[in-house]
Amino acid sequence: MKIYRMLTADDTAAFCHKVSEALAKGWELYGDPTYAFDHANGVMRCGQAVTKDVDTPYSPDMKLGEQ
């Protein structure tokens, strides 16, 4: 089964580390990254979708970050 996550964070090195950590854990990039201004907080925000094949059935209780 393929699972999906959307990683988001402020436009800092922390976002790049978040994506790099997901890749190191076997997640794969899915689509193009996003980049937008967050007017409420006055910062640029980044997003990147990732997917991963897992051997367990889907459950809404899954902790996707722990897969």
Whole-number pLDDT of residue 64: 84
Domain positions in the chain: 2-54
Residue 14 pLDDT greater than 80, yes or no: yes
Residue 67 pLDDT greater than 80, yes or no: no
Cβ neighbours of residue 48 closer than 8 Å, sequence gap 6 or more: 6, 7, 19, 29, 33, 34
What digits encode the pLDDT tens for the residues 23-62? 999 999 999 999 999 999 999 999 999 999 999 888 888 8
Whole-number pLDDT of residue 15: 96
Whole-number pLDDT of residue 59: 86
